[in-house]
Amino acid sequence: MPANEDHNRLLTIKLNAAKRIAKDLQSYQREAGTLKHQIDAIPLESGEEQVLLRKQYVRSYDETVRMLPECRQRLEANKADIKKFISECSLSVNAELIAEAHNLLNA
């Protein structure tokens, strides 16, 4: 396999990984919003079952919120890796992949 095909394949893998991480981040953000809404919908002074349900939502919300910084950090590290890869191999990579990478980096 020629070097440029290897570079195209590697950049495609890196782009797909970044897209997956960005999708995960959006999913965590949506989940946090949904859980926050569910928590707010349960009155503080309610029955025992409601209190247990609220605690469960709060626990899930806390776990979800803890994932957000890690996910952002992974996305930024991945973007930095893509940027470095492009700067080193831009002449041997498909122009469409370069354009896709720039779109992702600027998003």
Q: How many Cβ atoms from other residues are within 10 Å of residue 34's Cβ?
A: 14
Provide the CA 54 distance to its chain's centre, in angstroms.
27
pLDDT per residue, tens digit, the chain (107 aa), is: 455 888 999 999 999 999 999 999 999 999 999 999 999 988 877 788 888 888 999 999 999 999 999 999 999 999 999 999 999 887 788 889 989 999 998 87
pTM greater than 0.85 (yes/no): no
pLDDT (0 to 100) of residue 1: 44
pLDDT (0 to 100) of residue 44: 76
